[in-house]
Chain A
Amino acid sequence: MNMVLEVSGLTKQYDGFRAVDGLTFSLAEHTATALIGPNGSGKTTTLSMLAGLLRQSSGSIRFSGTGKDPRSAIGFLPQYPNFFPWMTATEYMELAAGLSGMGGRDVRSECEKTLGFVGLGDAGKKRIGGFSGGMKQRLGLAQAIIHRPALLLLDEPVSALDPAGRREVMEMLKELGESTTILYSTHILNDAEEMTDQLLFLRGGKLIEKGPLREVREKHGGSGYRVLFSGQEAAERFADAVPWAASADGSAVMISGETVTMEELLRFASEHPAGITDIGRTAVRLEEIFMKVVGKP
């Protein structure tokens, strides 16, 4: 797998405390990675260092396949993007495109297209000073993707939006994710659950858990099957009988999803149907993992 970014031992030391402490991870091409952590866990500091705004105290950041200035391969969207209020959206986009090295006659149409993509097609001639928070967030996304960066860094890209806007922007990000590598921070776990190939859990500046969503899930309760029974006795009897890893919990039996397929489980259940009222899949929710991993003091 082609790595777009390799980070090793990334640390940011301020007077008296470490905002970011020894992060090591890498981002594969065209994957989406969610940076998850409570407020103050170092998400923004990490993204700022990757974007080249802050210099790390130690550790290395390696971009592959970029020229001498990695900033031309990065698109960055801060949590609260700030624009020149006296500029129009189109003017801003043209400035952003030009500064990223785009030139020629296509720039204008490229800017229009990008504004259209983020749903600001009609607002190009309006001054940004009159934009709502949601419109600014969209313009922020537009300026981050105008130069077709290999890596998109997004700080809480949807947390300031209303549910409808959030849905819409998530769809945009998924579309972008097909051709771009995305690293985004969020504290909204439903979003992370929806678009992620890799999870990075931060707490107190440290990376305390990382891996693909499926692996993290397996590790923290995993996904599997839940068979419900009419009573506790029936449940225990079933748990003893199954040849797979299983545990009875009251009138329910949990079976690990790694060891058995749904088909095998159904065949076994049809041979031992006593007391069964329901069979279903379970997946541990990211929120529960978050509480387990990050929430403990």
Chain B
Amino acid sequence: MSQFSLFLGKEWREQARSFKLVWVPLVFIFFGVLEPLTYHFLPQILDSVGNLPEGSDFTLPEMTGADVYASLTGQYQTIGLLVLVLAFMGSLSGERKSGTGTLLYVRPISYAAYYMSKWTAAVLLAVVSLWLGYGMAATYIVQLYDHVPAFSDMVLFLLVLAVWIGFVVTLTLTASSALPTGGAAGAALGILFIGMMIDSLVGTYWTWSPWKLQAYGLAFLTGSPDSGDLAGALVMTAVLAALLVLFGILQARRNAAKAKV
């Protein structure tokens, strides 16, 4: 068996036995259920909370299906990213710190296979979790809302977001390869959220950025994004991710010396 498949088997088992395979998808599914429900029942919820002044009369904006997807995407951009970074921050650094990596590093292993197996397992889990979340949301949205996006647009939307999530996970794994667990989480979250801030400030001029992907993806639900900008952002993300992977592999090899003996 190749080292990659051996390592992948190990990652798979680890995700299953640490319940990662259960809780990560469930968090995404949870928000996928909660978001459409909240907006649908918002009038009743406000009513039952009952602290509105008597006779006050205001109309809630009418939410379309696309609006709910956008709002859910906002949730995934904060809590979703946080959960993914926390779930994968120790992927490599944890094995150095606990010393479980030591007995791997003394064998004639390929660090590319080592890193890529973790990358494959983590990206698969993250993307499938994200899709399950949106899928669950879709089952509610088609029941409760008007103006539901077409299926083909949803597929494009989900593919673009998968690239973004792949970038997030790659960044987290490379941070875990280069830094101790705490630093890895800080660095990954820092870069992600600083990127978002920069995007919100000068995003109009910086159209080819990974941080633009979620906006471009959402644009499929209400119309279609500028195909040139989308292609540029996708290529830029792919190039950055490839560089991160390369850097992650080199760091995994270099930091093997830091594994606890």
Q: Do A and B touch directly, given a CB cutoff of 8 Å in the complex?
A: yes
- Chain A residues at the B interface, C-beta cutoff of 8 Å: 44, 48, 51-55, 69, 71-72, 74, 76, 78-84, 86-87, 91, 95-96, 98-101, 103, 140, 143, 155
Taking the closest CB of chain A, its distance from the CB of B257, in whole angstroms, is: 5
B226 at interface by CB-CB < 8 Å: no
Interface hub of A71, A82, A91, A143 (most chain B Cβ within 10 A): A82
> Measured between alpha carbons, how far is A95 from B257 in the docked complex, in Å?
21
* CB-based contact B100/A84 at 8 Å: yes
* CB-based contact B103/A83 at 8 Å: yes
* CB-based contact A100/B6 at 8 Å: no
B6, B98, B259: which contacts A99 (Cβ < 8 A)?
B6
A-B CB contact pairs (8 Å), 29 listed:
A51-B106, A52-B105, A53-B102, A53-B105, A53-B256, A53-B261, A55-B257, A69-B108, A71-B107, A76-B106, A78-B99, A78-B261, A81-B102, A81-B103, A82-B100, A82-B103, A83-B100, A84-B10, A84-B14, A86-B13, A87-B10, A96-B103, A98-B6, A99-B6, A99-B107, A99-B108, A99-B109, A100-B108, A103-B1
* B82-106 contact mask (Cβ, 8 Å, vs A): 1 or 0: 0000000000000000111011111
B3 at interface by CB-CB < 8 Å: yes
In the assembled complex, which residues on chain A have CB atoms less than 8 Å from the CB atom of B17?
A: 86
Interface hub of B108, B256, B259 (most chain A Cβ within 10 A): B108
In the assembled complex, which residues on chain A have CB atoms less than 8 Å from the CB atom of B13?
A: 86-87, 91
* CB-based contact A99/B100 at 8 Å: no
* CB-based contact B261/A96 at 8 Å: no
> Measured between alpha carbons, how far is A86 from B18 in the docked complex, in Å?
8
Starting from the known contacts A78-B102, A103-B1, 20 additional A-B residue pairs (CB-CB under 8 Å) come to: A53-B102, A53-B257, A53-B259, A69-B108, A71-B106, A71-B107, A72-B108, A74-B106, A76-B103, A78-B103, A82-B260, A83-B103, A84-B100, A87-B13, A96-B107, A98-B1, A98-B3, A99-B107, A99-B108, A140-B103
In the assembled complex, which residues on chain B have CB atoms less than 8 Å from the CB atom of A140?
A: 103
> Measured between alpha carbons, how far is A78 from B259 in the docked complex, in Å?
11
In the assembled complex, which residues on chain B have CB atoms less than 8 Å from the CB atom of A100?
A: 107-108
Interface hub of B10, B105, B257 (most chain A Cβ within 10 A): B10
Taking the closest CB of chain B, its distance from the CB of A191, in whole angstroms, is: 20
In the assembled complex, which residues on chain A have CB atoms less than 8 Å from the CB atom of B6?
A: 95, 98-99
In the assembled complex, which residues on chain A have CB atoms less than 8 Å from the CB atom of B103?
A: 76, 78, 81-83, 96, 140, 143
Taking the closest CB of chain A, its distance from the CB of B191, in whole angstroms, is: 29
A52, A84, A87: which contacts B106 (Cβ < 8 A)?
A52
